[in-house]
């Protein structure tokens, strides 16, 4: 129910392509199927609005309030979209310059607090309109960025299947870092990008040794989970690069 049948077929095509690889294992494919589904149903403003309107959520809130049959329960939802979330709804040609402007002006940390009563007509209509607008999601800046990220992640998964099969599942699992909404999402992307640029790219497409890749990616992911602000991750990356450089084959040895 996230988008449409075309989008669902793209998900299946990704799975078919990777499952056709000789080194693909059932365990890796199960993890890939789960995390690919999560990333392709990323939480944007449309999704957040849609989830807040679900009957199951309203029923849960009534249960938590211990409301009896016939009693009216007002549900007030709090939303704090920032510039990335707001401008991410726009087409790339409009949204990207506005996000860049917000970054230059130091507005990235500013949010727009909203209190919406979903049990009142006005609040319900506001969220319903946001949820309905998901039909234009494929044209949005946020969708463009998500598809770019997805292609990059799968690029490393497929490269690992070819070069270091034992590391593939750990690369798949790095998608766990990219989740949520707002500041949680931004921290996750920042940490994933650090792993990508300092470990995955140099090992799979550069000159660093891949001998310890699986363990390095695992330790990097655990460090990012433990300390989302990247201090622990920085230490793991530094230690790995020092070891990987000493174990990488020299040009003369390769000849």
* pLDDT tens per residue, range 3-51: 788 999 999 999 999 999 999 999 999 999 999 999 999 888 888 888 8
Token look-up 């998900």 returns 11
Q: How many CA atoms lie within 13 A of 127 on its CB side?
A: 23
Bridge partners (DSSP) of residue 76 are 117
pLDDT score, position 94: 93
Task: Give strand ranges (E) for the chain.
Answer: 76-79, 114-117
d(C-alpha 251, C-alpha 77), whole Å: 60
d(C-alpha 135, C-alpha 159), whole Å: 34
Beta pairing, strands 76-79 & 114-117 = antiparallel
Helical H segments across 88-167, by residue range: 92-104, 121-132, 141-163
d(C-alpha 229, C-alpha 116), whole Å: 31
Centroid of chain to Cα 118:
27
d(C-alpha 39, C-alpha 34), whole Å: 9
- CA proximity to 2, closest of 34, 51, 41: 41
* pLDDT tens per residue, range 65-102: 777 776 767 777 777 888 888 899 999 999 999 999 98
- Share above pLDDT 90 across residues of the chain, in percent, rounded to a whole number: 47
Centroid of chain to Cα 254:
38
Average pLDDT in the chain: 86
């Amino acid at each position: 129910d996230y988008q449409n049948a075309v989008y669902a077929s793209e998900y299946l095509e990704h799975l078919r392509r990777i499952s056709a690889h000789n080194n693909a294992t059932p365990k890796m494919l199960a993890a890939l199927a789960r995390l690919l589904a999560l990333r392709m149903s990323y939480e944007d403003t449309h999704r957040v609005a849609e989830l807040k309107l679900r009957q199951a959520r309203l029923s849960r809130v009534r249960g938590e309030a211990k409301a009896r049959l016939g009693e009216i329960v007002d549900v007030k939802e709090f939303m704090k979209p920032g510039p990335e979330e707001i401008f991410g709804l726009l087409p790339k040609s409009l949204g990207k310059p506005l996000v860049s402007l917000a970054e230059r002006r130091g507005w990235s940390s500013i949010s727009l607090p909203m209190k919406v009563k979903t049990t009142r007509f006005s609040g319900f209509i506001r969220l319903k309109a946001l949820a309905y607008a998901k039909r234009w999601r494929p044209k949005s800046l946020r969708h463009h960025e998500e598809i770019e990220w997805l292609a990059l992640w799968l690029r490393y998964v497929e490269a690992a299947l070819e070069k270091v099969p034992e590391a593939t599942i750990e690369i798949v699992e790095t998608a766990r870092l990219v989740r949520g909404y707002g500041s949680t999402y931004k921290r996750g992307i920042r940490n994933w990008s650090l792993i990508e640029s300092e470990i995955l790219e140099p090992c799979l497409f550069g000159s660093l040794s891949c001998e310890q890749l699986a363990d390095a990616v695992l330790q990097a992911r655990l460090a990012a989970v433990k300390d989302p602000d990247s201090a622990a991750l920085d230490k793991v990356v530094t230690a790995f690069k020092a070891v990987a450089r000493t174990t990488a084959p020299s040009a003369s040895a390769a000849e």
